[in-house]
Amino acid sequence: MTSLLFITGGILFIVALAMVYRILLLVQVARGDDGTKNKVGISNAINGFLFIVFFLAGFAGIAWYSGSAAEHFLPEAASEHGKITDKLFWITTAVVFAVFFLTHIVLFFAPFKYRYQENRKAFWYPHNNKLEVIWTIIPAIVLTILVVSGWKVWSDVMSPAPKENRVEIEIMGKQFNWQVRYAGADNVIGKYDFRKIDATNSFGMDFNDKNNFDDFTPNEIHMPKGKNVLLKIRARDVLHSVFMPHFRVKMDAVPGMPTSFWFVPTTTTAEMREKLRAEGKPNADKFDYEMACTEVCGQSHFAMRMKIVVDTPEEYAKWLESQKSWYSLNKEYVDKLKLDGKEKLSANNN
Amino acid sequence: MATAHVDIHAHAHTHDAHGHGHDEHHDHHEQSFLEKYIFSQDHKVIAKQFLITGLLWAFIGGGMSGLFRLQLGFPDADLSILKPLLGGWLTDKGKIDQEFYLALVTMHGTIMVFFVLTAGLSGTFSNFLIPLQVGARDMASGFLNMLSYWFFFISSVLMFTSIFISTGPASGGWVIYPPLSALPQAMSGSGTGMTLWLLSMAIFIVSSLLGSINYITTVINLRTIGMSFTKMPLTIWAFFITAVIGVLSFPVLFSAALLLLFDRHFGTSFYLSEIYIGGEALSNVGGSPVLFQHLFWFLGHPEVYIVLLPALGMTSEIIATNSRKPIFGYKAMIGSMLGIAFLSFIVWAHHMFMSGMNPFLGSVFMFLTLIIAVPSAVKAFNYITTLWRGNIVFTPAMLFSIGLVSLFISGGVTGIHLGNSALDIQLHDTYFVVAHFHLVMGAASFFGMMAGVYHWFPKMFGRMMDEKMGYIHFWVTFVGVYLVFFPMHYIGIAGFPRRYYSWTNFDAFNIPAFVDLNMFISIAAFLTLAGQLVFGFNFFYSMFRGRLAPANPWNSNTLEWTTPRFPGHGNWEGDIPTVYRWPYDYSKPGSKTDFIPQHIPLSQTPESNNEHDEHDLKLEKELV
């Protein structure tokens, strides 16, 4: 009933508008203005002028808002490569903003300046090869500089993770949360098989591989400051994407194709809180690093949060010790499994 | 100017010397309503069919963005008032269902990219302008052209149907990455909705191919006498190049969709491997989701140019006409379009820097991607130089064209960030990307489409649209688009991911200032959408009751303005005019008028001929 009212009201409104418009048009015709007398009217100058107004208001708005928005951006990158990519980002931004600004000066002032005048003729200027060569080459040079510097950074970030000082963390995306697994005392993350996944063994850990017995699966990510942290990323149902905004880390999690990303965290959670407190940020004491999902994965895509804690190496060692292996928490489950050469394995692990 | 009009007509009548054989245009039997308006083979009618279908889709797709902007701007609002429209897609608390939110985002993208900006833009204007501007009576095959529209229509019906089924339409994003799109267990939208999406797109691709093949054939074979490739308007160049890109890239999407259908229904594993979902491990192994991404973006990236090039082509034409100046660097414009078209095929993987593909590929694609910025920059500079020292008439079409150039620049420059894989690590799939492509691809192309509608409306319907309403439409839209998309850069820099129903789960994204900013964006979006109603009214009203259009309302040089006010099937009543000059003789030194149409022989304008015209003068003598 309401919708019917809305629809009727809408139609009547449009009809009324049409009538008003028709009347205005007829008045114009009655006045003898057939719309072709002058090539342009006063609206030509107004439109030209509005581009200038838009330019001034627009750039004033950008200048004003950019200042106040900047304080809400993410804090300084908490990883080594992030500091470099951030710098590159702001350099690129400065360059393109300059281009944006300069081209718009011409684009928005020329219309008013060169608006139609009956007694003037436009300047016949079909081409100028020199000019075109110049504005082909200059962007090419600027872009080359940006690309080469970007390529260097990219190659470093994507280089194979160093073997020494390395901490490996397995991250698995599933609908709709992240799960993580650490290697445990043997420093080797055990093998998995997606066929072994069930309600209990959500990683599909294959206990034929003895490396699995000391693996543990905490509810939050811990990593030591200054170490080479290698994320081994996988997904078990659909695509997900690991996104750690504070570390400038992102990598898709792909079912059937493990991916990885390594980086060096540079700021512990405590240090970051201290820094934010010094900057006077609200809730600085409650600050936590976070991981999100950036590849649409279904209904609760927006809620795949996991907390990240960066410790000092000492704190991290302590935390490692406090963790209980998944096996120790699920002994009954594992003992029921029919494992190849089970006696041997249990013997090794006793 | 009046004198020029007379000249044109005098000329058109005196010029039936070189018979075209099939002159007397087609048989004169009365066409039934069905033949004339529904199953028409007249390119002009088909163009209007594309346009009106495209505009209806634009209102649906735009309306959907209004709905999800409600969620993003006012996450706590009770939307029960929309119950009659959304029904079960509202939760008990009057909020938009989470999966339906994703469905809205997905359908908005699909509709806007394919149905509005591919069919509605390229379909409309390629159809309308190619025969009229190259001087042909119709497309090479009117029948295939008709089929092209009707395949689009069937595709539209399927997609429209999918909105109303109980499991909802496709919801995995317009890029429909598997496994999400392949597994109905993963989300309800991946059920029947996804099947319909794939069928609809497959049929859409057929439509697009039929159209493109026709455009290419017509441009190559049916140009009128004298219309060499170097005398073609840039619009035709743009449509021609667009059609070539479409023919080469759409089949790849077709294969991607076909393989996905196989994975969904016939148990193959092209894209699926090692999946545990809904409590069971699937038997699929060996497939790769990244393969789909490669196939998808092999179309997906050229698609950006399929959408953008026609808009740029029309802008070239409109800016030159209304600046009363030749387009600056005609050959450079063609060269840069060819360059963009070629490069568009070898940059696709820049959408996949963080997909897990080999980082070495990332390096290669980063280099190739940033090369494409060079021809784009050349185009932008050339537009600006065309305005410089012009004698500019601000028709609504001209305003939209200037707006396009602005959006093309502001959206284009952030491509330099995103094409740089090192920066893409952080920016990928954030609102920075949303801002970027909505400005450079969405808004710029939409502005091109609007410019085209305002400019060629008099030729399409023989009537004028109201200028004042056009001005209001432009300024509301132009200001609105910037207010909507510019702030998204800030949100993107702050790391906000795309396709999020809400950001409050994360401390990092729960920033009061940006909650306000999102509300601001939503309000701007509503106003911009409301502004489109002015256009809707102006369009449909003027179609029937607008003022009758003069023969050449913008004093333009191209051939379409030599046809009668209401051109019949066959376009010209007498002979097709012969072309003697390029289409940009505006304000030529020495000329009495500030424009000399293409069909005026150089021998008639000795006062304005210059040294570059010698060659054409010789050709002209041979012709006559």
Query: What one-character DSSP code corresponds to residue B392?
Result: B
pLDDT category, A33, cuts 50, 70, 90?
low
The CA-based diameter of chain A, rounded to the nearest angstrom, is: 106
Name the CATH superfamily housing domain B2-13+41-273+289-577.
Cytochrome c oxidase-like, subunit I domain (1.20.210.10)
Q: Round to whole Å and give the CA distance between B141 and B341.
A: 25
- Which stretches of chain A are assigned E, i.e. beta strand? 166-174, 177-182, 221-224, 228-235, 240-244, 249-253, 259-263, 289-293, 306-311
Q: Tell whether A292 lies on the interface with B, counting CB pairs under 8 A.
A: yes
Q: Is A249 on the interface with B (CB under 8 A)?
A: yes
Q: How far apart are CA B165 and CA B167, in angstroms?
A: 6
The residues, any chain, with a CB within 8 Å of residue A121's CB and separated by 6 or more, are B324, B391, B587, B594
Residues paired with B548 in a beta bridge: B463
Measured from the Cβ of residue B568, the count of other Cβ atoms closer than 10 Å reads 15
Parallel/antiparallel/unpaired status of strands A240-244 and A259-263: unpaired
Residues in chain A: 350
Q: Is the minimum CB–CB distance between A8 and chain B shorter than 8 Å? A: no
List of chain A residues whose C-beta atoms are within 8 Å of the C-beta of residue B464: 35
Q: Do residues B502 and B587 make contact, with C-beta atoms less than 8 angstroms apart? A: no
The C-alpha atoms of residue A77 and residue A87 are separated, in whole angstroms, by: 10
A interface mutation test: which of B350, B354, B611 has the most A CBs within 10 A? B354
Cβ pair B276:A139 closer than 8 A: no
Alpha-helical segments (H) within B372-466: 373-387, 396-418, 421-427, 431-437, 444-461
Q: Which CATH class is domain A166-349?
A: mainly beta
- Rounded to a whole number of angstroms, the distance from the CA of B61 to the nearest CA of chain A is 20
Residue B158 · residue B148 · CB < 8 Å: no
- Length reported for chain B: 624
- What letter represents residue A6's amino acid? F
- Both tokens assigned to B519: 């509300």
Tell me how far apart the alpha carbons of residues B51 and A60 are, in angstroms, rounded to a whole number.
38
CB B418 within 8 A of CB B493: no
Determine contact, residues B127/B43, Cβ cutoff 8 Å: yes
Read off the pLDDT of residues A122-181 as tens digits, 9 standing for 90 and up.
999 998 999 999 999 999 999 999 999 999 999 999 999 999 999 999 999 999 999 999
Q: What DSSP assignment string belongs to A32-66?
A: T--S-SSS--HHHHHHHHHHHHHHHHHHHHHHHHH
Of A236, A192, A337, A219, the closest CA to residue B279 belongs to: A236
Which residues are CB-contacts of B331 (< 8 A; sequence separation ≥ 6)? A127, B230
- The least confident of A8-12, A129-133, A208-212, B326-330 is A8-12
By CA distance, what is A157's nearest residue in B? Answer: B422
Nearest CA among A3, A66, A35, A297 for reference residue B289: A297
What span, in angstroms and rounded, lies between the C-alpha atoms of B609 and B539?
A: 40
Distances (CA, A) of B74 to A304, B68, B71, B88: 22, 10, 5, 20
Tokens of B104: 């809205």
- Cβ-based contacts of B399 with chain A (< 8 Å): 47
Q: Are strands A221-224 and A306-311 parallel, antiparallel or unpaired?
A: parallel
> How many other CB atoms are there within 10 angstroms of residue A342's CB atom?
14
pLDDT higher than 80, residue A28: no
Q: Which chain A residues have a beta carbon less than 8 Å from that of B390?
A: 110, 114, 122-123
pLDDT, tens only, B549-560: 999 999 999 999
Which residue, among B253, B123, B261, has the nearest Cα to B190 in the 3D structure? B261
How far is A202 from A198, CA to CA, in rounded Å? 6
B contacts of A114 (beta carbons < 8 Å): 323, 387-392
Q: Considering only CA atoms, which of A74, A98, A71, A96 is closest in space to residue A86? A: A74
Q: Taking phi first (over 0 means left), then psi (-120 to 50 degrees means alpha), and beta for anything else, what does residue B423 get? A: alpha
Looking up tokens 């035709």 gives B236
pLDDT band for position A350 (cuts 50, 70, 90): very low
Task: Give me the residue from B277, B329, B429 closest to A294, CB to CB.
Answer: B429
- Decide if pLDDT at A343 tops 80: no
Residues 6+ apart with CB under 8 A from B462: B548, B549, B565, B566
Closest CA to B237 of B371, B114, B138, B379: B379
Cβ A255–B471 below 8 Å, yes or no? no
Alpha carbons A232 and B259: distance in angstroms, whole number: 29
**Which member of B359, B467, B501 has the closest CB to residue A154?**
B359
Distance in Å, alpha carbon of B213 to nearest chain A alpha carbon: 32
- How far is it, in rounded angstroms, from Cα A98 to Cα B145? 46
pLDDT in tens, B179-227: 999 999 999 999 999 999 999 999 999 999 999 999 999 999 999 999 9
Cβ distance B421 to A299 less than 8 Å, yes or no, reads no
User: At CA B525, angle to CA A72 and CA B68, rounded to 5?
Assistant: 85
Please, which residues bridge with residue A283 across strands? none
The amino acid at A118: E
- Ranges of residues in chain B with a pLDDT under 70 are 1-30
B556 CA: distance to closest CA in chain A (Å): 13
According to DSSP, the residues that pair with A310 across neighbouring strands are: A223
**What's the DSSP call for residue B113?**
I
The pair of structure tokens assigned to B443 is 């808004």
Q: Any chain B CB within 8 A of the CB of A67?
A: no
CA torsion, ordered B558, B559, B565, B567, to nearest 10 deg:
-140
ipTM score assigned to the predicted complex: 0.92
CB contact under 8 A, A301 and B102: yes
Exposure on the CB side of residue A18, measured as CA atoms within 13 A:
17
- Does A256 contact B288 at a Cβ distance shorter than 8 Å? yes
Name residue, tokens 């964006």.
Answer: B521
* B275 with A236: Cβ contact below 8 A: yes
Domains of chain A, by residue range, sit at 166-349
Cβ-Cβ pairs closer than 8 A, A with B, add up to 358
CB B428 within 8 A of CB A296: no
Q: Which among A74, A194, A255 has the least Cβ separation from residue B494?
A: A74
User: DSSP character for A115?
Assistant: B
DSSP 8-class letter at B393: -
Closest CA to A101 of B380, B409, B484, B486: B409
Of A240, A242, A266, residue with least CA distance to A169: A242
**Distance of alpha carbon A205 from alpha carbon A194, whole angstroms:** 8
Residues 89-128 of A with CB under 8 A from B: 89, 92-93, 95-97, 99-100, 103-104, 106-108, 110-111, 114-117, 120-128
Distance CA B21, CA B619 (A): 22
The per-residue pLDDT for A5 is: 80
Residue of A nearest to B469 (CA): A21
CA B623 – CA B614 distance, rounded (Å): 14
Tokens of A58: 């627009």
pLDDT score for B237: 97
In Å, how far is B217's CA from the nearest CA of chain A? 30
Cα gap A170→A230, rounded to integer Å: 8
Tokens in use for A329?
């928490």
Nearest partner of B179 among B302, B298, B268, judged by Cα: B268
- What pLDDT is attached to residue A20? 83
The structure tokens 């006793």 sit at A350
